[in-house]
Amino acid sequence: MANRNPAISQAEQRVTCEGLELTPAAPVHESNRIVSIDVLRGFALLGILLMNIQSFSMPLAAYFNPAAYGDLHRANYFAWLLVHVLIDEKFVVIFSMLFGAGILLMTSRLEASGVNSARLHYRRMAFLIAFGLLHGYLLWAGDILFDYGLCGLFVFLMRKKSARTLLLTAAFLISLLPTALAINAHRLSKVPPERLAAMQAHWKPPAEEIARELTAYRGGWMQEMQYRVPQARQLELNGFLLRIFALMLIGMALLKIGYFTPTFPKRAYWLGVALGACVGVPLVLYGALLDSASDWDIRTAWFHGLQYNYWGSLVISFGWISLVMLAVRAQLFPALLSRIQAVGRTAFSNYILQSIICTFIFYGYGLGLFGRVSRAAQLAIVALVWAIQLTISPIWMKHYQFGPLEWLWRSLTYARREPFRRPSIRSDSVRGLEVEAKPQR
């Protein structure tokens, strides 16, 4: 096929382009999807709920400072520690990398067919930003779609850079927030007492402020808005945007070198597992124990303790990615991987579904359990949501080509109504995972 984008490797071009009759402005056919990326996306989405469940169920301060609210002893402490060390930030890292890889896949496919990808990409990101604003301000303040759409606008400009350039740029951007924290920590001794007291109050809100937040989220939808709107605004524009942008660049670089395909050298995946277990886990665990020993004092936990998870999450995320790639490569647990793949193919819809289910469980317009569920019990709710998504996603994909929100997003992006229901054609099984058979020409 002529005019292939040199920014994507030959192996990736075979996966995304060969056997597909490329037409201007058309979504990728499922027979040309990279199965391992779908599995990774589903795996990351399920893991993200383990970190988000704290924000759904407890005052916002408790996510950043576990001592701000709730019991933190015995089972609850170990539940927090398990999630903090193995899950928190790690799965956002994976999902952000995959988002960057997805941008490169889509734009490379369009440009290989001679289409100017900019118009479609920016329209796609604009609608994602709109979805994120609706999600964050009307449903749950912890939305990340807005951040992804905003970063995606600029990541697009880097898509044709070499993997080396992408990685070096990402390394520089990732280092900015820790550098700023280190500088601020050095200046902390000079902060006026009244300002330090205000920071402490934000880090660990007084009982009356916690009570007001509990009352609001246990009340009706309009009562919740008084907290959800300022919290969404606070979380949308923060220093972590640069990190998300950098992670998307890393995702592009990893796609260019073939890291997200099972044909990558096996020893590299085993190295990723070893580094995650032997370097990442001890680093994050040490930071958690340091914070705990200081009773989560802001001068230790925020300005110093944050650094351990910030850096350790990068290493552990590669360990998780490597484990999944090894499982796909060895065709382990094919039935489970097939279900996770279905979740990954409907990730947008499943992300919003997680918000719908959890806000119904915890907010006042539903069961009103906000602030009433311990950290250990939150894990049981996560398992319930997982069971729902792993059950309904494969069933849905048997009848429809996209998740409902994926279909809407595609239709808006391509400015036409995309086909929704699945045509009655046979399906094959490839590497133990279901993919649709290629239509005969």
The answer to whether residue 19 sits within a structural domain is yes
User: Which is more confident, 98 or 114?
Assistant: 98
The answer to whether residue 190 sits within a structural domain is yes
Q: Tell the residue number behind the tokens 């499943």, with chain if given.
A: 350
When pLDDT is averaged across residues 397-406 and rounded to a whole number, the result is: 96
Q: Does residue 345 have a pLDDT over 60?
A: yes
pLDDT of residue 261: 86
Give the CA-trace dihedral at 403, 404, 410, 411, to 10 degrees. Answer: 150
The answer to whether residue 88 sits within a structural domain is yes
Which run of H or E residues covers position 35? helix 35-57
Tokens of 25: 């402005």
CA distance linking residue 247 with residue 96, whole number of Å? 6
Phi, psi (degrees; rounded to nearest 5) at 327: -65, -45
User: Which is more confident, 424 or 302?
Assistant: 302
Q: Tell the residue number behind the tokens 């080509």, with chain if given.
A: 401
CA distance linking residue 129 with residue 153, whole number of Å? 10
21: left (phi over 0), alpha (psi -120 to 50) or beta: beta
The answer to whether residue 56 sits within a structural domain is yes
Domain that holds residue 277: 10-436
Tokens of 400: 């429809």
Q: Kindly report, residue by residue over 198-208, the tens digit of the pLDDT.
A: 888 889 999 99
Cβ distance 14 to 397 under 8 Å? no
pLDDT of residue 34: 85
Collapse the DSSP code of 427 into the 3-class scheme (helix H, G, I; strand E, B; otherwise coil) and give the result: strand
Q: Crossing angle of helices 90-112/35-57, nearest 10°?
A: 140
pLDDT of residue 422: 86
The answer to whether residue 279 sits within a structural domain is yes
Q: Does residue 6 have a pLDDT over 70?
A: no
Radius of gyration of the chain (CA): 22
Q: How far is CA 74 from the centre of its chain?
A: 29
The answer to whether residue 441 sits within a structural domain is no
Q: Kindly report, residue by residue over 247-259, the tens digit of the pLDDT.
A: 999 999 999 999 9
Q: Kindly report, residue by residue over 177-226, the tens digit of the pLDDT.
A: 888 888 887 777 777 888 878 888 889 999 999 999 999 999 999 999 99
In sequence order, what are the residues at sequence separation of 6 or more whose Cβ sits closer than 8 angstroms to the Cβ of residue 153? Answer: 122, 125
CA distance linking residue 288 with residue 273, whole number of Å? 21
The answer to whether residue 4 sits within a structural domain is no
Task: Name the domain count of the chain.
Answer: 1
The answer to whether residue 355 sits within a structural domain is yes
